[in-house]
Amino acid sequence: MPNIKLNYKNLSWLWLTALIIVLDQGSKLLMSYWLHVYELRPVFSLFSFTLLHNQGAAFSFLNDAGHWASWFLGAIAISVSAALVIWMLRMEPQKRWLLASAALILGGALGNVIDRALWGHVVDFLLFHYRNFYFPAFNLADSAITIGAIILVIVTIFQMKYEDEI
């Protein structure tokens, strides 16, 4: 078995994970206090706040599947979170963009896991729309996951391009 060096210093990136969790949970509590479920509060022509309880995954996938889906998705998120921490520990410390990406995805995943554990659903409240088209509502945790995934894809593409030139 190869000798794998663990870089515990990389766990210092968990400050970003913690920040995402605090901002996500705080915003969900605020919106749950401020809005009633399905209430729509327009902010400007393309954006509104709303309060939705999503038992499913992103974009309400499996939302009507019942409580089993929420627990199943929570178990997947916990497994992915453990894998992300292991990946962070094995990563070279100079790979800051990858560490930031992992920390963002981890924070988003755990933010939504907390919702599932506490309420049995994820609280969504950000809603973009144009005329009769409504993008599925989402939250700050979903945004962190998306931004982290975009960073991961961009870094991976640039890494592959650089390695091809060597």
| pLDDT for the residue numbered 120 | 86
115 included as an active-site residue: no
**Closest C-alpha to 80, from 25, 145, 143, 2:** 145
Instruction: Please identify which residue in the block is written with the tokens 């989402």.
Output: 138
| pLDDT for the residue numbered 166 | 44
In this predicted structure, the answer to whether residue 9 has a pLDDT above a threshold of 60 is yes
What is the DSSP track for 40-57? EEEEETTEEEEEEEE-SS
**Closest C-alpha to 86, from 6, 23, 166, 165:** 6
Q: What's the whole-number average pLDDT of the chain?
A: 90
DSSP tally for the chain: helices H, then strands E: 4, 4
**Closest C-alpha to 107, from 49, 52, 27, 4:** 27
Domain boundaries, the chain: 8-165
- For residues 97 and 94, give the distance between their C-alpha atoms in angstroms, rounded to a whole number: 9
Phi then psi for residue 157, to 5 deg, are: -60, -45
**Closest C-alpha to 28, from 149, 128, 162, 124:** 124
Catalytic residue among 24, 64, 115, 124: 124
**Beta-bridge mates of residue 123:** 53
142 included as an active-site residue: yes
Tell me the per-residue pLDDT of 20-59, one tens digit each, with 9 for 90 and over: 999 999 999 999 999 999 999 999 999 999 999 987 666 5
